[in-house]
Amino acid sequence: MVGMERAGRMLSARSGPRGAATADAVGLLAGFALDAVLGDPRRWHPVAGFGQAAGALERRLYAPHRRAGAVFTTVAVGVPVVAGLAASVLTRRQPVARAVLVAAATWSVLGGRTLRRESAVMAAHLERGDLLAARGRLSHLCGRDPSTLDEPELARATVESVAENTSDAVVAPLLWGGLFGLPGLLGYRAANTLDAMVGHRSPRYARFGTPSARLDDLLNLVPSRLTGLLTIAAAPLAGGRPAEALRVWRRDRNDHPSPNAGQCESAMAGALGVRLGGRNVYFGRTETRPLLGDGPRPSAGHLRRAARLSGTAGLGAAVLAAGVALARSGLRRRAGGR
């Protein structure tokens, strides 16, 4: 409580660009802490509300071509960005209010604790040999058909989902929040949610969903690579070696068909000393992914270590994002002094 009161006094003493940047940094760290302690809001989740609104917009704008998809993506992402910009302008000289808004937004868009909890739940099911429960739980992490998966394949699907979602649900929103504050947080989460809704391959979304998928790919280019590097640095916490994780990452990261998922998954494979990739069965289609890493297939024990790596990468990203937010004010001051 004393620390919070002191932070509030420090924020109140500042105004203008420097105070706004400090408020963004404090809000990002506070929001990360809220997610780490509380997890996702249990009721009235803002991201779920956005998804419902985006679904209604899709029904109005849908047509089986990319132009309609581009309009849908522009509106659905543009509205949250404009709302974030308006809130940023209104709170530019109210750092305490700004910090509270950024903290609330950060908490809403992060999913780190939920991701780690799902990995732990899956590990517990597999440790008990309860494949039926593990198969039923997999839908909380990914869209694969679990009906025929055995323990190694269920563990592999979980590790791959934890690796990719560490970037999508933790590192990327923090990085964009550090760079652009509220507009970055809200805009990134909107784009990533649209990708989950319409960016997958299906007859309906083959063309309409392309703009959303491409925007999500673009926004994750840097965060996915940062996630890989943070995972490599954290390898000792999972019993791995950074040098080995770096070797696997450099060798395998570009083999994945996704421009971003391979960055995260190869680093995770190297840090855990396992092999990822292979045949993935979804509902109605099958994909064969290249193998990433060396060693055995993952087992239940690897899931808790993967969760530990994810949490450490998230903490590193939160600190970096706060530093980026603070650096913004310095760059603006220097630019204004020229």
Burial 179-197 (b: 16+ CB within 10 A, else e): bbbbbbbbbbbbbbbbbeb
Beta strands in the chain (DSSP E): 276-282, 285-292
* pLDDT for residue 307: 97
- List, in sequence order, every residue forming a beta bridge with 144; answer none if it has no partner: 282
* pLDDT for residue 286: 82
CB 217 within 8 A of CB 259: yes
CB 184 within 8 A of CB 178: yes
- In tens digits, the chain (338 residues) has pLDDT values of 444 455 555 555 455 557 889 999 999 999 999 999 999 877 778 898 999 999 999 999 999 999 999 999 999 999 999 999 999 999 999 999 999 999 999 999 999 999 999 999 999 999 999 999 999 999 999 888 898 899 999 999 999 999 999 999 999 999 999 999 999 999 999 999 999 999 887 889 999 999 999 999 999 999 999 999 999 999 999 999 999 999 999 999 999 989 999 999 999 999 999 999 998 888 667 888 899 999 999 999 999 999 999 999 999 999 999 999 999 866 655 555 44
Reference 64, options 202, 195, 192; nearest CA is: 202
By CB atoms closer than 10 A (0-12, 13-18, 19+), residue 18 is middle
Structure-block tokens of residue 277: 């990739």
Amino acid 307 reads A
Distance CA 53, CA 274 (A): 41
Question: Phi/psi at 296 (nearest 5 deg)?
Answer: -80, 170
CB 316 within 8 A of CB 233: yes
Distance CA 321, CA 327 (A): 10
pTM of the model: 0.91
Alpha carbon 198 to chain centroid, angstroms: 18
* pLDDT for residue 1: 45
DSSP 5: H
Residues 6+ apart with CB under 8 A from 8: 96
Amino acid 207 reads R
CA distances from 41 to 14, 24, 103, 247 (A): 31, 21, 13, 39
Burial 294-331 (b: 16+ CB within 10 A, else e): eeebbbbebbbbbbbbbbbbbbbbbbbbbebbbebbee
Reference 270, options 311, 304, 305, 301; nearest CA is: 305
Residue-range domain boundaries for the chain: 2-336
Amino acid 186 reads L
Reference 138, options 249, 123, 129, 26; nearest CA is: 123
